[in-house]
Amino acid sequence: MKKVLIVDDDQEMRLFLSGLLKDKFQVLEAEDGVQGLALAKKENPDLVILDLLMPRMHGFEVIQRLRGDPDLKGTKVLVSSSKSYAADQATARQAGANGYLTKPYEIDALLGKIEELVGSDQTPVSLRFWGTRGSIPCPGPATQRYGGNTPCVELRVGERLVIIDAGSGIRELGGALLRQAAGKPISADLLIGHTHWDHIQGLPFFAPIYMPQNRFTLYGVHGTTAGFAEALSGQMSPPYFPVDMKALRADLRIMELDGPIQLGAARVTYHYLNHPGITVGFRVETRSCVVCYLSDHEPYGRLNEKGDFSAKEDDDVARFVRGADVLISEAQYTDEEYKYRRSWGHSTFTDVIGLAAKAEVKRLALFHHDPEHNDEMMDRFLEGCRRCIESRGHRLECFGAQEGLRLDF
Ligand SMILES: [Zn+2]
Ligand SMILES: [Zn+2]
């Protein structure tokens, strides 16, 4: 276990930080600069979380003395201070601090910083598909293998649960979470790419969201005609639905994205996609892997006239998913079907293979299957995709996302 030394004269702060970190780290505490320095020399911690204004010796001097000790060369220093002056931040960095957080800060910002500085223990990541179908649920024997539920992907980043999209698949995920939690509180972050019905229709059937002990944060973008929260509550309104959003008793936060977010060990960025209305794709990066999620999207070069502008937009999408360990990408049509579905906002199999190859992703999960594509057809299309990849000489593994399929990183 790595060692973290908390040096802060504020007892409550020490208590809070050690409570937060004690499961993952061996935590040591010191209540002033002199004690902190002595403990650092004795214990050689991996990380010192250091306040600046403390009795007996202030934090700047502690950093200088730490950096003057060759035995502590590997020790990282994260300043945690109420002093927000740029000059103080610069001085601390010049003295040898590796990071600086201004109090009060979000827990996620702290955990992200710690992960960045000493998180070389790779956080295990797993992914599971709970809904893979596009447009409308289509249960039945003909879609049993690839799945009939609309989009929902579960990502486990260490202990942290991240759910991408809340299609009908989230209903069964909710049941599984309740069984695993066995009465304990559940918390998760939900990333919603867009609010077309197939991507949010499962939310009112996600049982944990009705229970007050659970906590969920939903992230999405401001829509064309309504804010994210309004769009979500719109589907739970009369005359379309009997229960409104107020019935969701969990501790619920609905956030509009305005930049990258840090969810524990995962950094999440988003990119606008080409789909009617406002839609974003997600890139989830950890030290172990990169998972990208593009649903729904119609390549600019396919829909508009091919030209420099379309090419630039398509290049931007490729850059966004570059090097992903897994690209979960919608692939709704064959090239033949596309002729009749142009401007519906979706890609073809060959579009997606081209994108994945250009972006040098390692594995491509075909996703958001067309409701008309049964298991037998999907097997055939997948065979065609693999032939296409081989004939073009791409190095790319391609598979069809199936409900229940789990990947570990
Ligand atoms: Zn969709
Ligand atoms: Zn859509």
Lowest mean pLDDT among 121-125, 231-235, 262-266, 315-319: 121-125
Residue 120 pLDDT > 60? no
For the chain, percent of residues with pLDDT exceeding 70 = 100
| pLDDT recorded at residue 1 | 78
Closest CA to 221 of 200, 198, 191: 191
Q: What is the pLDDT of residue 225?
A: 93
Mean of per-residue pLDDT scores for the chain: 95
Q: Which pair of tokens denotes residue 355?
A: 């994108």
Q: Distance from the CA of 166 to the center of ligand 2, in angstroms? A: 12
SS3 category, 32? coil
Cα separation of 105 and 209, whole Å? 27
- 3-118 topology per CATH: Rossmann fold (3.40.50)
Task: Find out whether 51 and 81 touch, Cβ atoms under 8 Å.
Answer: yes
Point out the ligand nearest to the CA of residue 298. Answer: 2
Mean pLDDT of 387-406: 96
Q: Does position 346 have pLDDT exceeding 70, yes or no?
A: yes
Q: How confident is the model at residue 121 (pLDDT cuts 50, 70, 90)?
A: low
Give mean pLDDT, residues 336-353. Answer: 96
d(CA 355, CA 314): 8
Show me where the domains of the chain are located: 3-118, 125-408
Q: Which one of the ligands is nearest to 151 CA?
A: 1
Ligand nearest to the CA of 368: 1
Q: How many angstroms separate the Cα of 26 from the Cα of each of 22, 23, 143?
A: 6, 8, 50
Mean pLDDT, range 280-298, rounded to an integer: 94
The pLDDT of 152-172, averaged and rounded, is: 96
Distance of CA 15 from the midpoint of ligand 1 (Å): 46
How much distance in Å is there from the Cα of 168 to the middle of ligand 2? Answer: 14
Tell me how far the alpha carbon of residue 346 lies from the centroid of ligand 1, in angstroms: 9
Ligand lying nearest the CA atom of residue 165: 1
Ligand 1 centroid from CA 368, angstroms: 7
The per-residue pLDDT for range 171-218, each reduced to its tens digit, is: 999 999 999 999 999 999 999 999 999 999 999 999 999 999 999 999
388 CA → ligand 1 middle, Å: 25
- pTM beyond 0.95: the answer is no
Per-residue pLDDT at 115: 85
Please tell me the distance from the alpha carbon of residue 314 to that of residue 294, in angstroms, as a whole number.
13
Predicted pLDDT of residue 265: 84
Q: What's the gap in Å between 198 CA and the centre of ligand 1?
A: 5
The identity of residue 316, as a single letter, is D
CA distances from 211 to 125, 153, 246, 382, 406 (A): 27, 22, 12, 41, 27
Topology of the domain covering 125-408: Metallo-beta-lactamase; Chain A (3.60.15)
* Fold matches, 3-118 and 125-408: no
Q: How far is the CA of 111 from the centre of ligand 1 (A)?
A: 33
- pLDDT given at position 405: 97
Ligand 2 geometric centre to CA of 387 (Å):
29
Q: 80 is written with which tokens?
A: 């945690």
pLDDT band at residue 14 using 50, 70 and 90 as cut-offs: very high
> Which ligand is nearest to the Cα of residue 330, counting in written order?
1
As a whole number, mean pLDDT of residues 258-262 equals 92
Mean pLDDT of 225-235: 96
Q: Which residues surround ligand 2, an ion (CB under 5 A)?
A: 196, 296
Identify the residue with better confidence: 107 or 167. 167
pLDDT surpasses 80 at 4: yes
pLDDT in tens, 34-90: 999 999 999 999 999 999 999 999 999 999 999 999 888 889 999 999 999 999 999
